[in-house]
Structure 1
C-alpha cells in the first residue's frame, strides 16, 4: 500500500519524539503532525493536514484519548485510531474499542509489533497487542480449569439410558412421549428422570435441564 500519514498525540515530549523517530524511519510511514493533547489533535484534523491514522495516548490534558477517539470517529470516520498507552486494564481497552478505536497497544510493545499494528489497521483490520491478548487467553484457560474441577461428568455415573432420557427431556418431550419413543413404560421413564434429578442434585426437571445445558451434557 502507499504512504500512511500519521498524527501522533502524546503528552510526553521525549516519548513522542522517540515514537516519531521510529515511525519516520519506515519507508511507508509519514508522521505529518505530532501534538501533546486531544484538543490540538482535533484542530490539526480540522485543518488541511491529510491523516490516515491517529496514534493516541489515553491520559492527556485538554481532551483525553477516549474523548479524542469519540470525536475522530464521529467527525472523521475514515481515519483509523490506534491507542498506545501504559493503561493495560480491561475497562480502558473495552471503552477504546467501543468508542471506535481500531487498535490497542501498551507502551512496552516492541517496535515490530507497533509497525505491524499500524500497517494492519491502515488496511482495515483491528489489532490488540499480544500482551493483552495472551492475558485474555490465560484467563480463559484458568476459568476452564476451574470449571473442569467443579464438574466431572464421569462422577455422575449416568447410564446410557439416563442420558437418552435427559436428551429427550431437553427437547421438551413429556414422560409419556419419551416412553413411546424409547419403547419404555411411563413409570420406567419417570424413574430415570428422578435418578437424573437425584444424581445432579437438582430440585426439579427445569433445574435438571438448566444444569445439563450449563455443563455440556445436552446442547
Structure 2
C-alpha cells in the first residue's frame, strides 16, 4: 500500500485527486494539507507517508521550500510536484531540492498513477508535456543538455521498444503511440521508462536526444 499526503491549497483540486487515488487498491491518502507548514506538522506528529504530492504555489510554505525541508529532515519520503507551472526553471529547482517527480495539473489520470508507482519504487519521473517542452528548447539550444558521446556497446533495445522510441521522437503522446501500435497506454508508459533506464537518460527529452545522436532514430 502506498501511503500518500496531499498538499494543495485549492480544495476542489485536492478533493479531485483524493477521489481518484481512493479508487486504487494500492494507494491511500492518509492526510491532507493546505501548505508546507501543515505537512511538516503532520510529520512531526508521526503521520509518515511513502509519498507526498505537493503543489508549488501555496501560502506559508511553498512546495519548493517544502521539498528542501523534507530532503533535510525526512529524506526517505519521496516527493512529487503537481503544479500548473511548466517552466524549466521551476522543474530544475524542484529536482535540485530533492523532488523525485514533476507533473503538471492537466496530466492524465493514467500518467499520474504511473508516476506515483514509479517514484514509490525508487524512480524519478518527469511528465510527458514538460519533457516535450524541454526537447523543443534543446533543439533550439543544442548545448543546453550535455549527453555522453560514448555509444553504449549493448543497449539491448527490442524491436517493439525501437518502434515506441521512433514515435516518441516524432512527438506522439503515450495515448497516440498506444493507438498506433495497438497497445495499452500503460504498456507504452512502461516501454518509455525501460528505454530511459536502458539508455541511462533522465527523461524523455534526453532519451530522444540520445537516440538521435547515436543513430537509433532519424
**TM superposition score normalised by structure 2:** 0.64
Q: What are the equivalent positions in structure 2 for 1:6-85 lying under 5 Å apart?
A: 6-85=4-83
What secondary structure does 1:54 align onto? Answer: strand
Unaligned residue ranges in structure 1 (runs of 5+) = 145-219
Q: Which runs of 5+ in 2 are unaligned?
A: 143-218
Matches for 1:1-219 after TM superposition, within 5 Å: 3-143=1-141
* Structure 1 residue runs of 4 or more that deviate by more than 4 Å after TM superposition: none
- SS of structure 2 residue aligned to 1:55: strand
- Cα deviation for residue 51 of structure 1 reads 0.5
- Higher-helix-fraction structure: 1
Rounded to whole Å, the distance in 2 between the matches of 1:120 and 1:114 is 10
Aligned mates of 1:98, 1:50 — CA distance in 2: 23
Whether the 8 Å contact between 2:81 and 2:101 is mirrored in structure 1 is yes
* Structure with max Cα Rg: 1
Structure 1, residues 137-185: CA drift from partner, whole Å, max 9, x if none?
22223445xxxxxxxxxxxxxxxxxxxxxxxxxxxxxxxxxxxxxxxxx
Q: Deviations over 1:45-92 (max 9, x none)?
A: 111223100000000011110110011111100000000000111111
Root mean square deviation of aligned Cα = 1.0
CA contact (8 A) 2:80 2:103 kept: yes
CA contact (8 A) 2:88 2:134 kept: no
SS state of the match for residue 50, structure 1? coil
**CA contact under 8 A between 2:50 and 2:77: conserved in structure 1?**
yes
Aligned position for 1:204: none
Alpha-carbon distance in structure 1 between the residues aligned to 2:59 and 2:141: 38
Q: Count matched residues.
A: 142
